[in-house]
Amino acid sequence: MTLTRLDRQYGTAVRGVWVSTLGRVGRSWTDLGSWREGDVRRFQRTALPTLLAGQRQVASLTATYLERLYREIADEDHRASLDFDDVTGRALRGVDPEEVYERPFKEVWTALSKGTPLDAALAQGANRLETLAKTDLQLARTHTVREVTADQPGVEYTVRELQGEYDCALCMIASTQRYHKKDLAPIHPGCDCLVKTVRSDYDPGQVIDEERLERIHELVEEALGKADRGGRAVDYRKIIIANDHGEIGPVLGYRGQHFTSRDDLNIPT
Q: What is the pLDDT of residues 86-113, one digit of tens each?
A: 999 999 988 999 999 999 999 999 999 9
Q: What is the pLDDT of residues 155-202, one digit of tens each?
A: 888 888 777 655 777 777 777 788 887 776 656 666 777 888 887 776
Domain endpoint, select from 152, 169, 197: 152
- In terms of pLDDT, which residue wins out, 56 or 226? 56
User: pTM, whole model, 2 decimals?
Assistant: 0.79
Q: What whole-number distance in Å separates Cα of residue 179 and Cα of residue 184? A: 8
Question: How many helices (H) and strands (E) in the chain?
Answer: 7, 6
Q: Are residues 115 and 203 in the same domain?
A: no
Q: Are residues 128 and 192 in the same domain?
A: no
Q: In this structure, how many other beta carbons lie within 10 angstroms of the beta carbon of residue 265?
A: 21
Q: In this structure, how many other beta carbons lie within 10 angstroms of the beta carbon of residue 31?
A: 9
Q: Are residues 162 and 29 in the same domain?
A: no
Q: What is the pLDDT of residues 53-93, one digit of tens each?
A: 999 999 999 999 999 988 887 777 777 779 999 999 999 98
Domain endpoint, select from 152, 179, 214: 152
Q: Are residues 78 and 14 in the same domain?
A: yes
Q: What whole-number distance in Å separates Cα of residue 173 and Cα of residue 213? A: 6
Domain containing 209: what range? 155-269
Domain count, the chain: 2
**253-268 mean pLDDT:** 38
Q: What whole-number distance in Å separates Cα of residue 23 and Cα of residue 29? A: 10
Q: Are residues 45 and 178 in the same domain?
A: no
